[in-house]
Amino acid sequence: MTDRSRPVPSARLARLAAFGQIAGGVATGVLGEGVRRLARGERPQLPDLLLTPAYARRVAGQLSRLRGAAMKLGQMLSMDAGDLLPPELTAILAQLRDQAHVMPPRQLDTALVQAWGPDWRRRFARFEARPLAAASIGQVHRAVLPSGQELAVKVQYPGVAASIDADIDNVATLLRLSGLLPPGLDIAPHLAEAKRQLREEADYLREARQMLRYAALLEGDSRFAVPRPVDDLLHPAVLPMTFQAGAPVETLAQAPAEQRDAALGALIDLVLRELFDFGLMQTDPNFANYRWQAQTGRIVLLDFGAVRPVAPETAASWRALLRAGLSGDAARVREALGSADLISAAQDRRHGAAIEAMIGLVLARLEDSRGGVFDFADRSVAAHLRDRAAPLLADRDSWHLPPAEMLFAQRKISGTALLCARLGARVPILDILARHA
């Protein structure tokens, strides 16, 4: 078995040095790729040299060692880019979701001593040193209390909370130096919002409160299971919770079609309830945040650090877009996209035909499912959308960032759609959407 334990660099200088290694490695890789392309008679542009598997592999490896906010941003890219990046790049970046490094035992022990004192092991009948899972901000261990109760204990990586601001600033600097972002694109407000959200995710006391809120909101809903925090062991950097058995949500791909489609339909319904009923949304759709209980048919919901309120105006914008889509009126959808600031006036003016074509593709696909099911496994429309979007992506002067509130919701929506596509869900999507219109 491969040893994935690596100390988390917690000192500011150590993390800065790691970013320097990323930049140096990227520069070397870009130079080599540029020479190769010139030898073939090509005239490569810098963004083209950066969007290569070699570059993605180098960055993914470094970010997985850093963990924290840097790795979190890489995870977001791997999901948010969806069908826009070449498949080989998406696959490499997906390693940030699935293959995080873990803390060595000594570093883990130091973290738990800081939380519970030197005799922390006496609190448990058993504490498994090998983690069940490892992510960007912490890793999860299985434990048993003297009473026999099983727990899942999430332990935060040392130094992660204190490094959030610097990590995001360093990633932003790398993006600017890379030329991947247009010089005129103002990302400062979104960087500030990302820092705020990640600081909240690193506060395990806050996450425990959000976990309890979701448990209350979903009380009596047999489709979902939510763990509960264990108060007397709770610490800002350690989150003990009741253990919920379950398999990776990806195992639903092998489940009977009826079970698979019911579970994924429930997740779609949950997103809409978050948006329009709860006024509260867990905005991180990482697949590892869901588990599947084959015996009960329930989806286990995990990781409530990214829970944030949904502003009434944000919900209203999404509801207007939903109703426009259900109406089948392309002009109305285009207007709703503009009103929600999901497309800019410049994009609408310069690429109106491409935008209309993309809207038409989506509406036609929805119309085809009327009275039946929507087959998420059919990715042909995604390929056509990527082709139609090419002029917008190439026109870097018209690039536009919607408001952060819209982007957080969009991330959850697109991530859920991606999960449905990966698992081949076939659901009565129009019926589900109509219930919330």
230 and 313 both lie in a single domain: no
304 and 411 both lie in a single domain: yes
Residue 60 has pLDDT above 80, yes or no: no
Structural domain including 400 reads 246-437
Instruction: Take residue 394 and report the two structure tokens written for it.
Output: 């190439």
Q: Is 203 left (phi over 0), alpha (psi -120 to 50) or beta?
A: beta
117 and 79 both lie in a single domain: no
Highest-confidence segment of 76-90, 117-131, 384-398: 117-131
Q: What is the pLDDT of residue 12?
A: 46
Backbone torsions φ then ψ of 247, nearest 5 degrees: -100, 160
**Section 227-244 average pLDDT:** 97
Identity of the residue numbered 433? L
pLDDT tier at 4, thresholds 50, 70, 90? low
Question: DSSP 3-state assignment of 99?
Answer: coil
- pLDDT tens, 97-110? 555 568 889 999 99
Angle in degrees, CA 180, 186, 188, rounded to 5: 105
CB count within 10 Å of CB 37 equals 16
Measured distance CA(132)–CA(148) in Å, rounded = 19
Identity of the residue numbered 180? L
* Domain-terminating residue out of 193, 224, 243: 243
- Tokens 């030329």 correspond to 179
**Section 179-183 average pLDDT:** 68
In a domain, 222, yes or no: yes
263 and 214 both lie in a single domain: no
Count: domains in the chain: 3
CA 290, 385, 181, 26 torsion-angle sign: positive
CB 252 within 8 A of CB 411: no
In a domain, 278, yes or no: yes
CA 98 to chain CA mean position, Å: 12
List, in sequence order, every residue forming a beta bridge with 299; answer none if it has no partner.
224, 292
CB 232 within 8 A of CB 238: no
pTM (2 d.p.)? 0.81
Q: For residue 354, what is the DSSP state?
A: H
In a domain, 386, yes or no: yes
126 and 222 both lie in a single domain: yes
**CATH code for the domain in which residue 209 is found:** 3.30.200
Q: Of residues 65 and 190, which shows the higher confidence score?
A: 190
In a domain, 198, yes or no: no
Q: What is the pLDDT of residue 26?
A: 46
Q: What is the pLDDT of residue 113?
A: 97
53 and 171 both lie in a single domain: yes
* Domain-terminating residue out of 191, 225, 243: 243
- pLDDT tens, 240-296? 999 999 999 999 999 999 999 999 999 999 999 999 999 999 998 888 899 999 999
In a domain, 256, yes or no: yes
362 and 377 both lie in a single domain: yes
Q: Of residues 111 and 89, which shows the higher confidence score?
A: 111
147 and 282 both lie in a single domain: no
In a domain, 1, yes or no: no
Q: What is the pLDDT of residue 1?
A: 40
pLDDT-wise least confident of 18-32, 117-131, 252-266, 381-395: 18-32
For all residues of the chain together, what is the average pLDDT? 82
Q: Percentage of residues in the chain with pLDDT exceeding 90? A: 54
Q: Of residues 394 and 87, which shows the higher confidence score?
A: 394
Residues labelled as active-site residues = 284
34 and 175 both lie in a single domain: yes
In a domain, 6, yes or no: no
In a domain, 2, yes or no: no
- pLDDT tens, 284-322? 888 889 999 999 999 999 999 999 999 999 999 999 999
93 and 108 both lie in a single domain: no
94 and 142 both lie in a single domain: no
Instruction: Take residue 421 and report the two structure tokens written for it.
Output: 């596509």
326 and 251 both lie in a single domain: yes
**Section 29-58 average pLDDT:** 47
